[in-house]
Amino acid sequence: MIRPLVEPGAEPGPAETLRTARQTRLPGIGPDGARRIAAARVLVLGAGGLGSPVLLSLAGAGVGTLGIVDDDEVARHNLHRQLLFGVDDIGTPKTAAAARRIAGIAPDTVVHEHRLRLDEAEARRIFTGYDLVVDGTDNFATRYLADSICDALGLPLVWGAAVGYDAQVTVFWRGAPAGRATRLTDLHPSAPADAPNCEDAGVLGPLTAQTGALMAAEVLKLVTGVGDPLLGRMVSIDARSALFREIPLRAAGVDAGATADAGVAANTTAVDAGPHPTGRSAPAASAPRISVRELRERLAARDAGRDAFTLLDVREAAERAERSIPGSIHRPLDMLDPAGIDRAHPVIVHCHGEARAERAAASLSAAGLDVAVLRGGIVGWSES
């Protein structure tokens, strides 16, 4: 057991006490734990495949304050795994749809919507208002940024990843007991260049629900001091065989020979790849997004001679043959040469979803171009 992260607050009201009564009966929680949960302030990064079940579970548990960071809108292809949302939410900002759903589950929970894409300044400003952070994002740029800011502020970071049939969950926290304090950079010193992502590899919907629920349980353990959180160890889930495996983690240079070698941990970690950072420092924030509506308006303005930009499709030729956005140029990601792109105008990049466009944007930005990514890619364009 560890010391509870949150001090008990005021006793929840009668309706909330009744709503969470079955949880409060648990040994180790009780009325004192219920007051800690009600006083907890939890920030969830991403309201997607992992953030969705995390938010549902924490709202159900009675967490007093939930912050949601997401700049995306609900799309139809989200709904098979993001059960926080329904068909009526398509086109709605995820933060707003999530807040509405949470209000229907836990009316006493305060929800703060942070509809933005994190950069270092925003992350530091927002994180300081919370007791801990949950990382449900899908790109390494944001993951490393969250890890860096949480470490600087001394906040626990509940971390999870799911792609295909595989998932992992752990907790990074410099305040962990001796020998159990780890960071994302101990698991991944740099972003794996060939890591699969949901866009390309897909993901099993129930696995994201399972993973998110496990992440939410880690939050409650930290808040109340119940049980043994996943500090210095990672749980790996193989949904195909229904196997759970525990992998020891150690900080770089701390008794590395006494634990599983780093190669095992790295090779069993399947997370969405983002721009490849250098070294252990947090990389720059990922490229800004432009909505389908904004792109349509800008295309019309370009046709009328009032705007100038390059719309770049980085999908494969076979994908483009099936459907494309009029007025775009084609450069497959593996053949993309920044020198061949017009520097005189901004560039808007798209792919099937966003993963390949994000990698292209990182390459173009490094070459000095002004780049944005189409939110939702060709899928979002078609659904609109």
Q: What per-residue confidence (pLDDT) applies to 253?
A: 57
| pLDDT tens per residue across span 139-195 | 888 999 999 999 999 999 999 999 999 999 999 998 888 778 999 988 877 766 556
Q: Would you say residue 262 has pLDDT above 60?
A: no
Residues 351, 43, 23, CA angle at the centre, nearest 5°? 120
In which band, very low, low, confident or very high, does the pLDDT at 271 lie, cut at 50, 70 and 90? very low
In which band, very low, low, confident or very high, does the pLDDT at 261 lie, cut at 50, 70 and 90? very low
Burial state string for 235-268 with b = 16 or more CB within 10 A and e = fewer than 16: bbbebeeeeeeebebbbeebeeeebbebeebeee
| pLDDT tens per residue across span 18-45 | 999 999 999 999 999 999 999 999 999 9
Give the percent of the chain with pLDDT over 70.
88
Other CB atoms within a 10 A radius of the CB of residue 23 amount to 16
Q: What per-residue confidence (pLDDT) applies to 254?
A: 54
Q: Could you tell me the two tokens for 40?
A: 């907890």
Q: What per-residue confidence (pLDDT) applies to 330?
A: 96
Q: Which residue has the tokens 């894409």?
A: 117
Rounded-to-integer distance, Cα 169 and Cα 229, Å = 11
Q: What per-residue confidence (pLDDT) applies to 272?
A: 34
Q: Would you say residue 60 has pLDDT above 50?
A: yes
Highest mean pLDDT among 180-194, 259-273, 277-291, 367-381: 367-381
| pLDDT tens per residue across span 306-341 | 999 999 999 988 889 989 999 999 999 888 999 999
Strand locations in 97-248 (E): 110-114, 132-135, 157-163, 166-172, 233-238, 243-248
For the annotated catalytic residues, the residue numbers are 198, 351
In which band, very low, low, confident or very high, does the pLDDT at 269 lie, cut at 50, 70 and 90? very low
Q: Nearest-CA neighbor of 219 among 155, 128, 315? A: 155
Q: Would you say residue 79 has pLDDT above 60?
A: yes
- 285 Cβ partners below 8 Å, 6+ apart? 117, 118, 119, 120, 141, 142, 145
* DSSP structure string for 21-58: HHHHTSTTTHHHHHHHHHH-EEEEE-SSTTHHHHHHHH
